[in-house]
Amino acid sequence: MKKHPFFWGFLCLSVMALFFYSFSKNFLDYLEDREGGGQKIAVVEVKGVINESDEIVEKLKKYGKDSSIKGILVRINSPGGGVAPSQEIYSEILRIRKETGKKVVASMASLGASGGYYIAVAANRIIANPGTITGSIGVIMPISNVEELLKKIGLKTDVVKSGEFKDSGSPNRQMTEEERKIFQASADDIHDQFMDAVSKGRKMKMERVRELADGRIYTGRQAYKVGLIDKLGGFEDAVDLLVEISGIKGEPKIVREKKEKGLLYRMIQGDTKSFLQENILNQFSGFQYLWKM
């Protein structure tokens, strides 16, 4: 079927508009990054459940390598999430501090619990609002048991395995005592790793950390009283603190993360797979540094 000339004209205009938008946006971003000379601080946001760490770690690396960035503010609004992603972000913050000497301030919004707090203890300073929910220093691994439900609907599962504990944690049957001991030992070990990070980050004796690390939550004000954070305040207070400890003179230029691409934009770019992975498919199981109500 022959295309109408109007179609080709519309297509050409659309391509030109997309090219112009991309060029102008990149040019404006370049000009924006040039502002402020060497007196710039970067903001990296950690929002929602922490399912993966790649994007956040890449942003941290980028700002760590940028010589014009004098300090990094990690803005946290998260109940935590997967153990490994939380640890990877934590490790990257420590690496930047060690290799570049740049200062990092963790600023908690409404929520900075469990894995969110784990990330925060890697920073030079932690600041939270008086009403911020934080703490929850612990490990959780929810395991469902649908055995009775399966019996009611007449469904039975046969398992072929090569090791005694290969199907440990199966929702199709009751957990054995030996399996419970194995899971508990793993949870205790991961909990110890969390407490060790808190002990080092907060320069706190392990005995004191153990008293605080029973999984309970703290308000920002409570956390300040027991030494889990350094200061009470909001985002602007965190900026001021970072400016102070970074030795920045005058008002700094704040470099913010670019907004995430929406679903419509990703569909136009043919990037729906990554959107689904990040928001739907990339859910995790296993042990978690996660606060759940």
Write out the catalytic residue numbers: 114, 166
Instruction: Encode 77-103: b = buried (16+ Cβ within 10 Å), e = exposed.
Output: bbbbbbbbbbbbbbebbbebbeebebb
**Phi (first) and psi of residue 234, to 5 degrees:** -100, -160
24-49 residues labelled b (16+ CB within 10 A) or e (exposed): eeeeeeeeeeeebeebbbbbbbbeeb
Q: Measured between alpha carbons, how far is 121 from 109 in angstroms, rounded to an integer?
A: 15
SS3 content of the chain, % helix, strand, coil (to 5): 50, 20, 35
**Are the CB atoms for 120 and 132 separated by under 8 Å?**
no
Residues 6+ apart with CB under 8 A from 172: 146, 147, 150, 157, 159
